[in-house]
C-alpha cells in the first residue's frame, strides 16, 4: 500500500466563523499551529516516548492516545476502524523502523502533508452536513493530512526486501519493483499485514496527537477551551491501507483483502462499519484539495459498494512532478499568489511550496 502507510486525513469542526479569524487573529492562529505541531523532514515530536511506549502505540493505535489523554473518547467513534487495526504485531516491526518512529509521534512531516484551517464555502446536503456538525457557510474547520512518518516508510522498505525473496520463490512477476507482493497466507504476506497494521496504528495515534496539539493552539489563540469551541472530530479516513472486508462478488459475499492505495473508503448508509452517528447518511468521505482550491466532504453510497468495493479517490492528483514544479515555479511567486487570495501559510522551508503549489495539481 505504498511507503506512507495509513497516510490519511481528518476533519475537526469548530463553532467559530470566518469573521472571527481575520487579520491579526488569522496570523496568530497560523503561527500557533506552526509552533505547536512540528513540521518538516525528520522533525522530532514533543510527545514523550520510550520504546515501550512505542510498542503500545503500534499495538493500540488511537486507544493509546485515548489512554494517555491525547484524544477525546468520541474521537475514536469517528475514526475508520475505530483507529485500531487488531492484526497489528509490534514484534514484526524492525528495530530500524522503531528507531525512526520513536521521536516522531505528533509530527506532520513534509511533502503534501498539511494542517489547514478551512471555511465552509457551500453546503449541498443540509441533513448530512448537519449530522456532521457542519451547519453553516463560513464555519471554520481544521483538516489534518499526515501518515506514519519514517516508521511507516521503513516498514514498507523492509517488506520490499522480504517480498522480493517470496516473489522469486513463488514465481510472481511484476514490471515494477515497487509492485512487489506476496501471497496473503505466506509467511511474508502475514508478516506484512501485521507490520502494516502496526504502522497504521502509529499513523492514527500520530494524527490524534496532532489533533491534541491543534486544540491547544486554538485554545491559546482564542482563550477558550477546545470543548467550548466544539472542536470535535468529524471523521478520520485512511488513504493507504489494506483490510479484510466482506464484499459481494458475482452474487456471492466473500472475504477480500481490499487494498486502497491513494484511495478512500466510502461505505454507504446502514453499513455495520459506519459509526452510529452516520448510519443514515453514510460514512463521511474527505477529499483534500490543494493550498489554493477547495476540499470536499462527501458520503459513501450503495452504488460505490457495487462498483468499487466501497472506495473512491483521495484528493487532487499531481499535474506536475515535484522536479518539474521546482523548475517551472518560483517560491516567491507561489507565496505571493496565495497571499493575494487571502491564504496565510507557514512552512518549514519556503522553497518547498513550489512542489505543493496549486498549479502542481489537477483541479480536484
End-to-end C-alpha distance for the chain, whole angstroms? 22
DSSP annotation of 5: T
Distance CA 304, CA 117 (A): 29
Residue 299 contacts by C-beta under 8 Å, 6 or more apart in sequence?
125, 128, 266, 269, 278, 281, 282, 283, 284, 285
- Residue 314 known to be catalytic: yes
Label residue 77 exposed, middle or buried (CB < 10 Å: 0-12, 13-18, 19+): middle
Residues in the chain: 364
- Which one is catalytic: 36, 247, 314, 331? 314
Rounded-to-5 percentages of helix, strand, coil across the chain = 40, 20, 40
What H or E segment, with its residue span, contains residue 241? strand 240-249
Distance CA 274, CA 339 (A): 39
- Enumerate the β-bridge partners of residue 117: 142
DSSP annotation of 275: -
Label residue 171 exposed, middle or buried (CB < 10 Å: 0-12, 13-18, 19+): exposed
SS (H, E, C) 170-182: HCCCCCCHHHCCC
User: Would you please indicate which residues are annotated as catalytic (active-site) residues?
Assistant: 314
Amino acid at each position: 500500500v505504498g511507503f506512507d502507510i495509513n497516510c490519511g486525513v481528518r476533519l475537526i469542526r469548530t463553532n467559530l466563523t470566518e469573521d472571527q479569524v481575520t487579520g491579526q487573529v488569522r496570523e496568530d492562529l497560523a503561527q500557533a499551529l506552526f509552533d505547536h505541531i512540528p513540521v518538516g523532514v525528520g522533525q522530532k515530536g514533543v510527545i514523550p516516548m520510550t520504546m515501550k511506549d512505542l510498542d503500545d502505540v503500534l499495538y493500540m493505535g488511537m486507544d493509546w492516545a485515548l489512554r494517555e489523554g491525547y484524544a477525546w473518547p468520541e474521537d475514536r467513534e469517528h475514526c475508520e476502524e475505530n483507529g485500531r487495526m487488531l492484526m497489528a504485531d509490534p514484534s514484526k516491526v524492525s528495530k530500524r523502523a522503531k528507531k525512526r518512529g520513536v521521536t516522531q509521534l505528533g509530527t506532520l512531516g513534509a511533502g503534501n502533508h498539511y494542517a489547514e484551517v478551512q471555511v465552509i464555502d457551500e453546503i449541498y446536503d443540509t441533513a448530512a452536513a448537519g449530522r456532521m456538525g457542519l451547519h453553516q457557510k463560513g464555519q471554520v474547520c481544521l483538516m489534518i493530512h499526515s501518515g506514519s512518518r519514517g516508521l511507516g516508510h521503513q516498514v514498507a522498505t523492509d517488506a520490499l526486501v522480504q517480498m522480493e525473496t517470496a516473489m522469486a520463490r513463488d514465481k510472481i512477476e511484476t514490471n515494477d519493483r515497487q509492485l512487489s507482493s506476496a501471497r496473503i497466507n505466506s509467511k511474508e504476506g502475514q508478516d506484512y499485514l501485521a507490520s502494516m497494521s502496526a504502522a497504521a496504528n502509529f499513523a492514527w495515534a500520530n494524527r490524534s496527537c496532532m489533533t491534541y496539539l491543534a486544540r491547544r493552539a486554538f485554545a491559546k489563540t482564542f482563550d477558550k477551551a477546545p470543548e467550548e469551541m466544539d472542536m470535535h472530530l468529524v471523521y478520520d479516513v485512511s488513504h493507504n491501507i489494506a483490510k479484510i472486508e466482506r464484499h459481494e462478488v458475482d452474487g456471492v459475499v466473500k472475504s477480500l483483502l481490499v487494498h486502497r492505495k491513494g484511495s478512500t473508503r466510502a461505505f454507504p448508509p446502514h453499513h455495520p462499519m459506519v459509526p452510529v452517528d452516520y448510519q443514515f447518511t453514510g460514512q463521511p468521505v474527505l477529499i483534500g484539495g490543494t493550498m489554493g482550491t477547495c476540499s470536499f466532504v462527501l458520503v459513501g453510497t450503495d452504488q460505490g459498494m457495487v462498483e468499487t468495493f466501497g472506495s473512491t479517490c483521495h484528493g487532487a492528483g499531481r499535474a506536475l512532478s515535484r522536479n518539474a514544479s521546482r523548475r517551472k515555479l518560483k517560491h516567491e511567486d507561489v507565496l505571493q499568489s496565495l497571499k493575494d487570495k487571502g491564504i496565510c501559510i507557514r512552512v518549514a522551508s519556503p522553497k518547498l511550496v513550489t512542489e505543493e503549489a496549486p498549479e502542481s495539481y489537477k483541479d480536484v
